[in-house]
A and B are shown apart, each in its own frame.
Chain A
């Protein structure tokens, strides 16, 4: 019921576990905003009608003398505090505090490396450990600069512009960029992270619905920004494992 107002305002699909609490908070905010706006509008409409010159030829020097406005003001501050402490702080801590970041066996680890104008999704492969990379090794065949000497890199593979994720398992994405700032916005997963060159920043989510959606580049990255389209595919666990097994490693076997 609370999220219903978001749907009316055009809300996109939500397909991740934490996305529903985000959607819920947004719904609470929208109801709060709507009530305030309707209240103010009724007051304004009445004042315009009641105190126009024709109906009210003489103004009253004192105007409103009741304490009602102060009470409303205090009420708004209380709701703000409730939103901060009840929703915003705990929810954000669960997203970004390293203590909450999943580490179990079922975690899908990958890197998202932005470049003009595509996303390189660098999967850890079967060993679930992402191989080391270096900017000195960037090449056409190895666009993410994967280091062959690192044992973790052996089964790492690349999926360009297609992010495949399993429903019900946590996905941890380290977001970075090779050139300018991009933004990895996976809206149905209620997830977004700027891709800053020179930094790797984690973001994570647990998909809870199968489907296929666009991933948006959320930061202006040049003339091709509008066409930097990639996809997220949320599939069942078995399908994901099959897909994973069918991938060829980026680096040829030694």
Chain B
């Protein structure tokens, strides 16, 4: 550690000396500084999230009103070419948007925002490191992600359009799609595979970097059990990415050679497509692809959720002004989740014809993996007991994460078992379940993180008023979107139908509320159904779609808040505006290249809030006892946050 400490001061010194000489493009575009890369990741992934949201809004139009032309977009000439002659969404376009919504939200949105943006910006600061272990690899990781993302985006504009075989990209559908377009390389399916290889490579570089940084670059005194939960979550996530992504990279490459090279890894013998025998050697297995895919894609769920839980833990500890309840248990739960996440993948494949032995194994592991998740949520919930809770916007998002993630987790329970899954597999119940985990779950936690660390990044506060205008409608409409999905799922609505399930009349025409009942009257008032009609299952599509569009509108306050606050937000008075205890608040605001002015030292655990007998209600990791007493006399002095050399 001391070697690292020496280089900190050297780096800090030399960098601050030369800072004015670094040209703009090197400082902000091709930067090797983890903070700049973190912000780059953050902004890029927010753009992708917005784009993925846009795709979904078009899909929701098709689901709610499949017989009406898409408003606004059907007037745009370049968009018209995708729609049918009446300006309506086609099955192909819906599949394309659906596949890309999933891909973009997961691989280009939430993972880069949670793991890469917060992991890059916050994690090195929290362990008192001057930068990531490999700054240039860090930059390479970001730019691979940008290139992969740009290719993914560009694939919309080639003649075939983007990939349209679902985000799961199952063979043989993914392999045989788009063969009518001459050059197979320039089709959406192929571009999807190539972009995925780039994005996965980017994640692999990032994960290696994070693991090395956490193991090697912790500052003096930062023992394992003094690390904040967010750092633990990032470490666990990095191991998941490192071990789970290679199988998908292999699968993508195998599918690529199936498409381009005439092999048959995933193509069985004797396929017959629209009356024509498929020209392929055969002998492959479509199930092999599913195993390789889900071996990544289930651990991927924990990549989406672990950094989110880490962020929520930071925000809750800081704003309840008390230590986390069961810190050690939480750490072990995070590690257990990382490990167990590798043993449950086949619960996505219960319907592929699984016998009693294998399914018993995967049902058991799935139930076991839910235990650490329950422990984490319970620990966070109990942590709030006895606190003095400060409900700023970050805390509101973090608090609402708990019940929302709770619904997501609980609705996973029936899906963990084979028998209920016979009814619920691939229905909207599943869609509701995992969106509760990821949308009002992970994404709310990520919002909390943005509001919480924004003052450290920019030196200015975000507006609380706009924050409230963002939070409350978001909470309402998130539920407006996903709660009806659970009901439709129980009624048998299956996913990936561009007409929202209209063709299946015995499901879609089921009556959910009789005429005159409370729900039917409310639906009448909202003009969802005709007066004195029954509310049927298909009508819930309108509730969901309208909620989605309203949710989009109420993201505008957030976008304004993020950009405007950087210029007009209230300036922070100290380097530690939330009076937090973790190491990142010891840096100047915003942190310079090299982060800490002097080599930081950690003196105690991460969450020493409201320590009995302490002069203040927070006892930072980076202050000695003597400084604590001195600090309590004039807390507003920003210099107090820096630590003298020992």
Contact = CB atoms under 8 A, between A and B. Distances in A.
Interface of A: 6, 9-12, 21-23, 25-26, 29-30, 32-33, 36-37, 40-41, 43-44, 47-48, 51-53, 56-64, 69, 72-73, 76-77, 80-81, 83-84, 87-89, 91-93, 95-97, 115-116, 134-136, 138, 140, 178-181, 183, 185, 187, 190-194, 196-199, 201, 212-214, 216-227, 229
B200 interface: no
A25 B419 contact: yes
Contacts of A58: 388, 610, 617
Contacts of B420: 22, 25-26, 29
B34 to A, nearest CB: 33
Contacts of A134: 270
Interface in B483-514: 486-492, 494, 496-499, 501, 503-507, 510, 512
Nearest to A34: B410
A32 B91 contact: no
A96 B363 CA distance: 15
A65 to B, nearest CB: 9
Contacts of B275: 138, 140
B411 A51 contact: no
Contacts of B576: none
Given A51-B388, A60-B386, A220-B496, A9 B320 contact: no
Contacts of B270: 134-136, 197-198
Contact of A12 (B92, B353, B507): B507
A219 B391 CA distance: 44
Interface of B: 90-92, 94-95, 164-166, 170, 172-173, 176-177, 268-275, 277-278, 282, 285-287, 320-323, 325, 351-356, 359-360, 363-364, 367, 370-371, 374-375, 378-379, 381-391, 399, 402-403, 406-407, 410-411, 413-414, 417-420, 422-426, 486-492, 494, 496-499, 501, 503-507, 510, 512, 537, 609-612, 617
Nearest to A80: B367
Nearest to B496: A220
B351 A218 contact: yes
A91 B423 CA distance: 14
Given A58-B610, A220-B173, A225-B497, A89 B360 contact: yes
Given A59-B609, A88-B360, A223-B90, 18 more contacts: A21-B419, A25-B419, A32-B413, A47-B387, A48-B384, A60-B386, A62-B386, A63-B325, A63-B387, A77-B371, A89-B356, A179-B273, A180-B176, A197-B271, A220-B165, A225-B91, A225-B497, A226-B503
B285 A198 contact: yes
B504 A214 contact: yes
B364 A84 contact: yes
28 contacts: A10-B512, A26-B419, A44-B384, A47-B387, A58-B610, A60-B386, A61-B612, A63-B387, A64-B386, A76-B374, A77-B371, A84-B367, A96-B356, A135-B270, A179-B176, A179-B272, A180-B176, A192-B423, A196-B286, A197-B270, A198-B268, A198-B285, A199-B268, A199-B353, A218-B425, A218-B494, A220-B166, A222-B95
Majority secondary structure of chain A interface residues (helix, strand, loop or mixed): mixed
B408 to A, nearest CB: 11
Nearest to B493: A216
Nearest to B170: A181
Given A64-B385, A183-B426, A219-B426, A193 B320 contact: no
A225 B353 contact: no
A91 B177 CA distance: 38
Given A179-B273, A198-B285, A190 B422 contact: yes
B398 to A, nearest CB: 12
A192 B430 CA distance: 15
A48 B386 CA distance: 10
A135 B277 contact: yes
A53 B318 CA distance: 13
Contact of A63 (B170, B364, B386, B489): B386
A31 to B, nearest CB: 11
B378 A59 contact: no
A218 B170 CA distance: 13
Contacts of B165: 220
Contacts of B363: 84, 88-89, 92
A51 B391 CA distance: 11
Contact of B382 (A60, A64, A88, A225): A64
B498 A226 contact: yes
Given A10-B512, A59-B322, A223-B92, A197 B610 contact: no
A179 B172 contact: yes
A56 B413 CA distance: 36
Contacts of B611: 61
Contacts of B273: 116, 179
A109 to B, nearest CB: 17
B61 to A, nearest CB: 15
A88 B417 contact: yes
Nearest to B386: A60
A240 to B, nearest CB: 20
Contacts of A47: 381, 384-385, 387, 389
Nearest to B617: A59
Contacts of B426: 183, 185, 218-219
A30 B386 contact: no
Given A59-B609, A197-B286, A214-B506, A226 B496 contact: yes
Contacts of B325: 63-64
A36 to B, nearest CB: 6
B415 to A, nearest CB: 10
A26 B386 contact: no
B389 A22 contact: no
B286 A213 contact: no
Nearest to A93: B356
A223 B91 contact: yes
A191 to B, nearest CB: 6
Nearest to A24: B419
Closest 7 CB pairs of A and B: A198-B268, A135-B270, A201-B353, A226-B497, A60-B386, A223-B91, A10-B487
